[in-house]
Structure 1
Amino acid sequence: MDKKANIRNMSVIAHVDHGKSTLTDSLVCKAGIIASARAGETRFTDTRKDEQERCITIKSTAISLFYELSENDLAFIKQSKDGSGFLINLIDSPGHVDFSSEVTAALRVTDGALVVVDCVSGVCVQTETVLRQAIAERIKPVLMMNKMDRALLELQLEPEELYQTFQRIVENVNVIISTYGEGESGPMGNIMIDPVLGTVGFGSGLHGWAFTLKQFAEMYVAKFAAKGDAQLSAAERAKKVEDMMKKLWGDRYFDPATGKFSKSATSPDGKKLPRTFCQLILDPIFKVFDAIMNFKKEEAAKLIEKLDIKLDSEDKDKEGKPLLKAVMRRWLPAGDALLQMITIHLPSPVTAQKYRCELLYEGPPDDEAAIGIKNCDPKGPLMMYISKMVPTSDKGRFYAFGRVFSGLVSTGLKVRIMGPNYTPGKKEDLYLKPIQRTILMMGRYVEPIEDVPCGNIVGLVGVDQFLVKTGTITTFEHAHNMRVMKFSVSPVVRVAVEAKNPADLPKLVEGLKRLAKSDPMVQCIIEESGEHIIAGAGELHLEICLKDLEEDHACIPIKKSDPVVSYRETVSEESNVMCLSKSPNKHNRLYMKARPFPDGLAEDIDKGEVSARQELKQRARYLAEKYEWDVTEARKIWCFGPDGTGPNILTDITKGVQYLNEIKDSVVAGFQWATKE
């Protein structure tokens, strides 16, 4: 854990039901936590009862795996490394739109993402949403095409059609990346995915096999190599394999007669040549599938010998699908292929925090905390971001789950706990408390641990009373907050809840408080009429929240209303009448006018291009140049609402009026209150 160059923090993201949890299984099984025979059906990361019943992932679950690379594979890593053992912190996240807040929380604490796409249905809406979130957080993606067994067995595609399908998916993903990314000149460099570089995996999570072009390139390099090449050094071998990988994708063709690669689709004597990807990679896989699924015993036995696959005695008697699974799992184990792809292509905390620091930290870019984060320095001040609260087996207590960005967190350490509304120098939302215990999250279990250096993902016990959902934990006195997460959905569906027995009201209120802690997205509101309202992202999300509330948090029977969607209003065109109101003491008259923003300004405010904290003249210049505002008006922005950051602006356009400052506070307060409703 101390070798921070050898840590990989990654999350698995995808559309609903493209097989994230199933894939995660093959990784977990590689690390030896569950039996390989049951991988693919266990869904180790679906820890809750309702997740197993509905067969969907609801909460993100974290697991730590240890993986060792062989010498030859180490040569492929382009960043600093330290030994051959790698610690991979993997977070399996849900795919449903309703739970996209869980995905956001998972992305904040990781540096890389494994994007899973079903090769039958292609890139879907939710794939695009989560990928966009990942790129906005500066997270490097690698792609995995899942469900190849379906393409072969159900759709019975030809190799060329299958290649075209893959090609299309890779293009779609790259279009999304280039649309939302910062281009090659950005701080991350080029993050486009490309099978030639080995950043695309193909396989089937259910059957437990997968490969990248690297695996096949290695087989062929070993096969084509002359006798004298056996003593190649690891670096030279890596170079050969990389050259080979370039030949295995795209418009490259293979001439089986001469054994040469060519760039044209026809051979010198006019025969049509097969594409290398089809001939050298898909063809062997098709042969294995064909021989086994059509019960051609001798052919299957020959192939198994040729591919040098050693089967157990029990596997030898199988036929059809079970045998297919056993053979493919031996020949192309999914765990190896994916873990190699993760360790080679995803950034370590050392690499990633250099370019993510400016996005993560609100304070000045050169104070101690920022420098500690940039260098991922275990001797720097402790900076840790808590992205969510995880309920414990003990009713009403939570683990704070987050990532250490700099410094060292240990049991009994006295820390400053800063909530999201803390501003440096003030006392609000700040607590000084010791950490009771630090723990590692392992899917369904937790492991206690003494101290955790930066770059790791960890759970804390004993800070749950002081934080609602997210916050920053630090030992540095002048530290600013880590930036708050942006959610891509907002809670719009509401339900009113009340206790069946009025005497249980205090329990209900206590339960609502706990519910608000455990889910990053839920809002619990008390209306003026005294109703308790829960707002969530969708009906499925609410259903699960209410079940949690009834069974875990409040433990009382509850009555609930039908879900209602709350509507939002906006200004569509400039008001044609000047609106006038008088204050109760008849001394002030307020004239107001509403007009819509120019296109794109609201998005700019959301991104933080225009904000209340900016320098006044600079902001005025930006508005005047980009949106053609009147310069004098742009200088007199009174506030942004709601909450001082929302996309509504109150501007003072009066000329030569005295004593404005006396009423400014009251007007601003009224504006904030009106925009919140």
Structure 2
Amino acid sequence: MDRLITELKLTPLEAYHHLVRLLEKVNAVMGELFGAEVMEKSSQVNGSGSAMEDSDDSSLYFSPDQDNVVFASAVDGWGFRIKEFAELYAAKLKLKSDVLHKTLWGDFYLENKTKHIKKGAQNKGKKPLFVQFVLENVWAVYESVLVNKDKEKTDKIIKSLNLRILPRDSRSTDSRVHLHAICHQWLPLAHSLLEMVVEKLPSAMDITPDRVHKLLYSAVMDHDTLPPQTQRIRKAFLDCSSTDDAPLIVYVSKMLSVDRKALPRNRHQALTTEELAKRGKLARERHAERMRQAEGEVAGKKTGCSDDTVSSDAASNTLTDGQSTSNEAVASEDTKELEPEEVFIAFARVFSGTVRRGQEMLVLGPKHNPLIALEQVEGTDQVADLTTGQLAGLRYVSRATVTDVYMLMGRELESLPEVPAGNILGLGGLSEHIINSATVSSTLACPAFTEMFFEATPILRVAVEPKHTGDMSALMAGLRLLNQADACVQVLVQQTGEHVIVAAGEIHLQKCLEDLTTRFAKVEVNVSAPIVPFRETIILPPTTDIVNEAIQDQPQPSKPNNWENQATPTDDDTHVIDIDIGGGACRLKIRAIPLPEDAAKLLEESSDMLKILSQFSGRNTDRHSGHLTTHMSDRVSDFKERLVAVFARSEDWAAEDVDKIWAFGPRQVGPNILLNRAAGNEWLSLWDTVGRNGDDVSKLESWDVRQGIVSGFQLATDAGPLCEEPMRGVCFVIEHIELAQSDDTLSVGSTDRVSDADGVDLMTRSSMPAYTGQLMSSVKDGCRRAFQAKPQRMVAAMYSCVIQATADVLGKVYASLGKRNGRVLKEDLLEGWSLFNITAVLPMAESFGFVKEIRKRTSGLASPQLRFSHWEVIDMDPFWVPTTEEEYLHFGEKADSENIACRYMNDVRRRKGLKVDEKIVEFGEKQRTLSKNK
């Protein structure tokens, strides 16, 4: 609010209209979110009315007359709701407080003659009540204190408001200090904010069953599949009980890094009256003892007598006392040096039970499965009854003791003996058991909470190493602390042994590196160039070249001849690749086709559903996975229907293709598909294996062949041929599968055959194909060759860039975006402001230093905000070279304009140590002109 006065310099009436428009925009967004949620929950519209008509959104929107809006200035420390002004002016105007409360915000004005409140202030040119009674008073305080610095008027305002301002505040040369003192007493922000929190925020007792279900059960876990003990926890969760018999359920969302000196036990505390009296008594006794010793020394000098024995004893006692004091001091200093300066406090919320200091509890990891854990302990699930041996057998469970319980008071911590359910607290003593987040409970039956959702996805990577090799252990310890302190950062160790930090963006990465070097590791580190992720894909053969001329029977450019695994020429235009394994034991025909973009996006958005399919399909199904419940089965069917709809809308695709899907990849959850169009019904699709017993499926004669093909597909999509980056939006179609009929060729071991209940021909488990490994590698190479037979493209990670800038610097903003291959999507002038809101997309590979550059070029008048948005295909062949006469005329013989896709590809290949097609010395015999500095 203060910026409306000091920076925008709006009048009270202009500020009122600005606030009205602002609330309208916020409520419009809230309405859109509410409508989307209602339509998502409602699968169909009732005949009597729509789902929106049946939903109650009366308490959804923000309106000052509902007391859910606070007008505030955090800088100057004031804030209010219209409820406070309504109570104040109701007595002065002799009006009902309820009536004034409903009309103080809106198109209402006060008739001066009749003292009646009427509607239509805007049409009649009257001041709205909110402007007349609220905003004009606030503006008057700012103008008298901050703008005009009118001391006489300021004193009059202070007197009329019955405020007591300290002389040091009124005499301060900084008018902001004086303004803060007045506004803080007149309209205290803490009072208004706390009242609204108490009135409007829902109680912990009002938690809904849907929220409990989302917190307790992940996408691959359902309520009906869990043991009875776990199902009873759901009721305790809903009751939010803090009784002694209620199970303890606590969720730790993050670990807070706190200076050890800020802990209550290490803070300097004021002494009580009794402690001061005791300290004074001890001081007087020590002073009297010193006086007696001094008098004894004077008397000894006068008599001239000396006792060697007494002197030696005194000396030895003094030496002993001095040594002990010195030893204690050294030990104390050593202890302080060993203790880390940073202490981690678990930021948590209690959903059930009561947390007490010194209480033992179980820390449940994200992979904790209560069904498996309860079967292993057999008989007990409480932390007090579990033995050390039983806990040692549980992989994702550890026992911890809460050393301290804190109440979080802003930056300070207050120690508490216990905290009941429904509260947020800090827990000490869990730093050795929790990295980022965890579920804490008193029973093994509690499932691990679902993972936290972050709006910003960590995607920017750098490799770090210590400058001095001896600091490697300190760096590893610092990386562990960094991973604990920041829930959004990821710390990985690659197969090459490199330690990698994954951050959400450039600013986040800079903060992580600063914390690593100054707080956690405290060693100098070498940081690699940012590792930008890319994807590889294929497209349909283009119809025009780079100069927009029709392509007529020209060969598609492929990778250089000196690269390995060149695509095998084919006789037709379908680019089918023949694969021969084991001397004719298995023959495959595979081709690659691009997936529709909508299908690739759907697969990326449905990663949780793909995890369910992976868990409940084929050999992945075991006794601990449980059975596929009706709820999960409905979700799988819904996902399949959405995929069918996407394929039906796309050209060259049929809805029946969905039934022929074998796998998704890479890692079974990626945006690539393996499709089987080979003739024969003996091959099971992915949907046929979902929910089927893994042992039964693996007995099928063709199962091992199928799994070998799927594994080769997973390997191929995980590292493409362009630069070993994962593929995206590629479908590999198996056109033909031919297996040799000789049992000697197909298998080794037993070839006894049995039939299952459905009459399906099965082989015994001892029959294993001899060529499974060769099948995987051959399918991998075949998929890569099929990929290379089509036009290949690089896919870049794109940032969504939102920039607010004035009209004076728009040209510089556009120049900076164009220089970095950015693209402006839209430009809007903010209503009531002189700022433009620019929305653009920027390749992540070009974003490094962008924020700093644009602020420097615009003198700070443009502030960009970057956030990962999507993957975008770079519309340029990474192997393109001029071939036609027009291209030679337009681009030159050496293609003088830069091939961005080729540059990105070569950068990644060079970083990974792969072969790069470039000449180090282009003209070895050309004469060089060497100049010498004279």
1:29 match: none
Greater mean deviation of Cα atoms: 340-349 or 216-225: 216-225
1:402–1:458 Cα contact (<8 Å) kept: yes
Opposite residue 302 of structure 1, the aligned amino acid is K
TM-score (norm 2): 0.50
Aligned match of 1:378 in 229, 235, 242? 242
Opposite residue 356 of structure 2, the aligned amino acid is S
Distance in 2 separating the partners of 1:522 and 1:576: 45
Distance in 2 separating the partners of 1:284 and 1:215: 14
Distance in 1 separating the partners of 2:413 and 2:586: 63
TM-score (norm 1): 0.67
2:253–2:347 Cα contact (<8 Å) kept: yes
| Shift in alpha-carbon separation, 1:581–1:370, aligned structure 2, 3 A | farther
What aligned pairs does 1:352-391 form with structure 2 within 5 A after superposition? Answer: 352=207, 356-362=211-217, 364=222, 367-379=231-243, 380-391=246-257
Aligned match of 2:405 in 424, 439, 454? 439
1:192 match: 61
1:406 match: 352
Deviation string, structure 1 residues 459-502 (Cα, Å, up to 9, x no partner): 33333333332221222333222111122222222212112222
| Shift in alpha-carbon separation, 1:555–1:291, aligned structure 2, 3 A | closer
- If asked which structure has higher relative contact order (CA below 8 Å, sep 6+), I would say 1
1:452 match: 419
CA shift at 1:407, angstroms? 1.9
The answer to whether the aligner puts 1:430 opposite 2:396 as a matched pair is yes
2:681 match: 656
The answer to whether the aligner puts 1:215 opposite 2:84 as a matched pair is yes
1:499–1:559 Cα contact (<8 Å) kept: yes
Q: Indicate the RMSD between aligned Cα atoms, in angstroms.
A: 3.6
The answer to whether the aligner puts 1:601 opposite 2:457 as a matched pair is no
Query: Secondary structure of 2:483's match?
Result: helix
Greater mean deviation of Cα atoms: 661-670 or 435-444: 661-670
What aligned pairs does 1:256-655 form with structure 2 within 5 A after superposition? Answer: 256-265=112-121, 272-292=125-145, 293-317=147-171, 320-352=175-207, 356-362=211-217, 364=222, 367-379=231-243, 380-392=246-258, 393=260, 394-395=339-340, 398-426=344-372, 429-440=395-406, 441-569=408-536, 577-578=575-576, 581=579, 587-589=585-587, 591=590, 593=592, 595-596=595-596, 598=598, 601-602=602-603, 605=606, 611-612=612-613, 615-616=632-633, 619-624=636-641, 627-628=644-645, 634=658, 655=680
CA shift at 1:400, angstroms? 2.7
Distance in 2 separating the partners of 1:304 and 1:517: 50
Deviation string, structure 1 residues 574-606 (Cα, Å, up to 9, x no partner): 996455655578644564645236366247515
Deviation string, structure 1 residues 350-400 (Cα, Å, up to 9, x no partner): 224555223212165581222222221224322221211223545386333
Greater mean deviation of Cα atoms: 198-207 or 565-574: 565-574
What is the count of residue pairs matched by the alignment?
Answer: 514
| Shift in alpha-carbon separation, 1:547–1:187, aligned structure 2, 3 A | farther
CA shift at 1:208, angstroms? 0.9
2:402–2:429 Cα contact (<8 Å) kept: yes
CA shift at 1:672, angstroms? 5.5
Unmatched tracts of structure 2, length 5 or more: 39-51, 225-230, 261-338, 374-393, 542-572, 617-630, 648-653, 684-700, 720-725, 727-934
What aligned pairs does 1:112-151 form with structure 2 within 5 A after superposition? Answer: 148-151=1-4
Greater mean deviation of Cα atoms: 191-200 or 546-555: 546-555
Query: Secondary structure of 1:486's match?
Result: coil
CA shift at 1:332, angstroms? 0.9
Query: Secondary structure of 2:682's match?
Result: coil
2:365–2:439 Cα contact (<8 Å) kept: yes
CA shift at 1:314, angstroms? 4.3
| Shift in alpha-carbon separation, 1:517–1:646, aligned structure 2, 3 A | farther
1:369–1:476 Cα contact (<8 Å) kept: no
| Shift in alpha-carbon separation, 1:644–1:341, aligned structure 2, 3 A | farther
Query: Secondary structure of 2:253's match?
Result: strand
Distance in 1 separating the partners of 2:576 and 2:514: 50
| Shift in alpha-carbon separation, 1:169–1:505, aligned structure 2, 3 A | same
2:240–2:352 Cα contact (<8 Å) kept: yes
Opposite residue 602 of structure 2, the aligned amino acid is L
Opposite residue 291 of structure 1, the aligned amino acid is S
2:367–2:396 Cα contact (<8 Å) kept: no
1:493–1:535 Cα contact (<8 Å) kept: yes
Query: Secondary structure of 1:356's match?
Result: helix
Opposite residue 79 of structure 2, the aligned amino acid is A
CA shift at 1:503, angstroms? 3.3
| Shift in alpha-carbon separation, 1:573–1:167, aligned structure 2, 3 A | farther
Opposite residue 277 of structure 1, the aligned amino acid is F
Rg larger in 1 or in 2?
2
The answer to whether the aligner puts 1:166 opposite 2:19 as a matched pair is yes
Distance in 1 separating the partners of 2:578 and 2:362: 48
Opposite residue 439 of structure 1, the aligned amino acid is V
What aligned pairs does 1:106-117 form with structure 2 within 5 A after superposition? Answer: none
| Shift in alpha-carbon separation, 1:365–1:301, aligned structure 2, 3 A | farther
2:111 match: 255
Distance in 2 separating the partners of 1:506 and 1:219: 65
The answer to whether the aligner puts 1:152 opposite 2:5 as a matched pair is yes
Greater mean deviation of Cα atoms: 595-604 or 301-310: 595-604
Distance in 2 separating the partners of 1:321 and 1:615: 60
Distance in 2 separating the partners of 1:560 and 1:204: 41
CA shift at 1:516, angstroms? 2.2
Distance in 1 separating the partners of 2:663 and 2:361: 34
Distance in 2 separating the partners of 1:517 and 1:670: 37
Query: Secondary structure of 1:426's match?
Result: helix
Deviation string, structure 1 residues 236-289 (Cα, Å, up to 9, x no partner): xxxx6454222012222233343221112379xxx6311121112112222233
Distance in 2 separating the partners of 1:389 and 1:219: 45
Query: Secondary structure of 1:425's match?
Result: helix
1:198–1:213 Cα contact (<8 Å) kept: yes
Opposite residue 401 of structure 2, the aligned amino acid is I
1:494–1:534 Cα contact (<8 Å) kept: yes
| Shift in alpha-carbon separation, 1:660–1:245, aligned structure 2, 3 A | farther
- Identity, % of aligned pairs? 30
